[in-house]
């Protein structure tokens, strides 16, 4: 699963995880195990009840086989780009 780096095509971490889950190749318990969280946490993230804490973005990017920049908030990307220029 590869997503474009363009802002128009970016996803939230929740959208990326939901898209990955909907492929039908992985279960919620397996996602929970791989992310080292409870199944209830995964369920709440996938159902939209809770937002995914930023501390899990790296793991989610790896699990979904996407670049971390694809799910980082745009304001973080601006800060990262500024750091590269210095």
Is the distance from CB of 3 to CB of 63 less than 8 angstroms? no
Whether 73 is covered by a domain: the verdict is yes
Whether 2 is covered by a domain: the verdict is no
CATH code at 29? 1.10.260.40
Give the tens place of pLDDT for each residue, 60-75. 999 999 999 889 877 7
Q: CA dihedral in degrees (62, 63, 64, 68; nearest 10)?
A: -30
Is the distance from CB of 41 to CB of 17 less than 8 angstroms? no
Domain count, the chain: 1
Whether 1 is covered by a domain: the verdict is no
Is the distance from CB of 1 to CB of 20 less than 8 angstroms? yes
Give the tens place of pLDDT for each residue, 3-46. 434 444 478 999 999 999 999 889 999 999 999 999 999 999 99
What was the pLDDT predicted at 78?
A: 61
List the domain range (segments joined by +) for residue 66.
7-85
Q: Where are the alpha helices (DSSP H) in 1-86?
A: 13-22, 28-35, 39-47, 57-64, 74-85
**Is the whole-model pTM more than 0.95?**
no
């Amino acid at each position: 699963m590869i997503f474009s780096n363009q802002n128009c095509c970016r996803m939230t971490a929740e959208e990326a995880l939901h898209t990955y889950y909907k492929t039908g190749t992985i279960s919620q318990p397996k996602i929970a195990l791989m992310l080292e969280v409870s199944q209830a946490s995964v369920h709440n993230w996938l159902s939209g009840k809770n937002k995914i804490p930023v501390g899990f973005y790296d793991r989610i990017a790896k699990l979904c086989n996407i670049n971390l920049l694809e799910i980082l908030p745009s304001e973080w990307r601006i800060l990262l780009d500024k750091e590269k220029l210095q």
